[in-house]
Amino acid sequence: MSKLNILVVDDARFIRERVTSMVRESFPDFTVMAVENGAQAISAMQQRQFNLILCDWEMPEMSGLDVLQWCRAQDAYKSTPFLMVTSRGEREYVLKAIQAGVNDYLGKPFTREQLVQKMVKALSKQQKLSPEQQARAAAMLQADEQKKGGAPAARAGAGKPKGLAQIRNSKQTFRCAIKDLNLREVKVVIKNEGSFPQVLEQVVVDIEQLSGDSVARINGFVTLVQATEQKLDAAYVDVLVSFMDDDPDKMAHLSKYISSVR
C-alpha cells in the first residue's frame, strides 16, 4: 500500500480543514499536512518530501503561483503533481499557471467527488496509487453517486438553490435554479418541458440573486445535459455550461456573488 504525503496550502482555515478531512476520509492511509501560507508550504517541503500539493492561488505575501514556480525550480519537486485550488478561472490566470507547470485546477466551491477525481487522475499518471487505493477511491465515488441517485428530490433541485438563472439560446429562454457555480462553469437544473439546450450549443447565462437583482450576463457553451432521474419522463434536467467570457468586470462581479452564496 502506497503511503503518500499530501500538502494542503490555504490561508482560509475552513478550506484547509475541509480539504484535509476530505483527503483523510478518502485515503485513510495518506499523511496530510495543512499550512496557511506559501512560506510555511516551502518550509514544509524543505523538511519532507510530498507526493501531491493542493494549493490555493490567492494568499497574502506569497501566492499559489509563487509556490508553484518555486516547486518547479527544485529538483525534488520538478514533477510533483500540483493542483491549484482556486476560484480564479480567467484565461490569463490559467495560462500563467500552465506556463509555470501546474497539473490541474480545482475550482471553488467543490465537492469531495471532484477533489478525489482530480487526486486520482494526478497520482495515477505517476503510478503513485496502489491497485487497492484506486479500487477504494472508485468504490467511494460509486457510493457517492448511488447516494445522489437515491435522493431524487435533492437531485431535482428541491434543496436550497445558490441562485436563479436564465439560459438563452437563439430560440428560447429557460428558467433554472443554480446547483453549483464557479468562475469557469455553472450547473443548473431546469424543468423538463420537452425541450432543453443541446450539448456544444452556445448560450448566454443570466445569473440573478435570489432577491431578483441581476448579477451578470455571461457567454458560454453547453457541455452536459443529463436527466436527474433514470427514466424517460424525468421531471428535471441538469445542464452544465462552461463560460467563455473573460471580461474582468463580469468575473469580479461573479466572484463576489459566489462568495455570498457559499
pLDDT by 10s per residue, the chain, length 262: 468 999 999 998 888 998 999 999 888 889 999 999 999 999 999 999 999 999 999 898 899 999 999 999 999 999 999 999 887 666 677 778 888 888 888 877 778 888 888 898 888 776 666 677 777 667 766 666 666 554 333 343 344 567 788 899 888 999 888 888 888 889 999 988 888 899 988 999 988 765 555 677 888 999 999 988 888 888 889 999 998 877 777 777 777 777 776 6
The CA distance from 114 to 121, in Å, is 11
Domain boundaries, the chain: 5-149, 155-261
Q: What's the chain's Rg over C-alpha atoms?
A: 20
Give me the CATH topology for the region 5-149.
Answer: Rossmann fold (3.40.50)
Which pLDDT belongs to residue 36?
Answer: 94
Please classify residue 259 by burial: count the beta carbons closer than 10 Å to its beta carbon, then call 0-12 exposed, 13-18 middle and 19+ buried: exposed
Question: 155-261: same fold as 5-149?
Answer: no
Which pLDDT belongs to residue 39?
Answer: 95
How many angstroms separate the Cα of 1 from the Cα of each of 53, 63, 129, 139, 253? Answer: 20, 34, 8, 17, 46
Give one DSSP letter per residue of the chain, joined into a string: ----EEEEE-S-HHHHHHHHHHHHHH-TTSEEEEESSHHHHHHHHHHS--SEEEEES--SSS-HHHHHHHHHTSGGGSSS-EEEEES---HHHHHHHHHHT--EEEESS--HHHHHHHHHHHHHHTT-S-HHHHHHHHHHHHHHHHHHHT-HHHHTT-S--S-EEEEE-SS-EEEEEEEEE-SSEEEEEEE-SS--PPTT-EEEEEEE-TTS-EEEEEEEEEEEEEESSSSTT-SEEEEEEEE----HHHHHHHHHHHHHH-
Here the cell at position 44 is: 514544509
DSSP bridge partners of 238 = 189, 226
Architecture of domain 155-261: Beta Barrel (2.40)
Which pLDDT belongs to residue 158?
Answer: 42
∠ Cα 117 154 146 (to 5°): 45
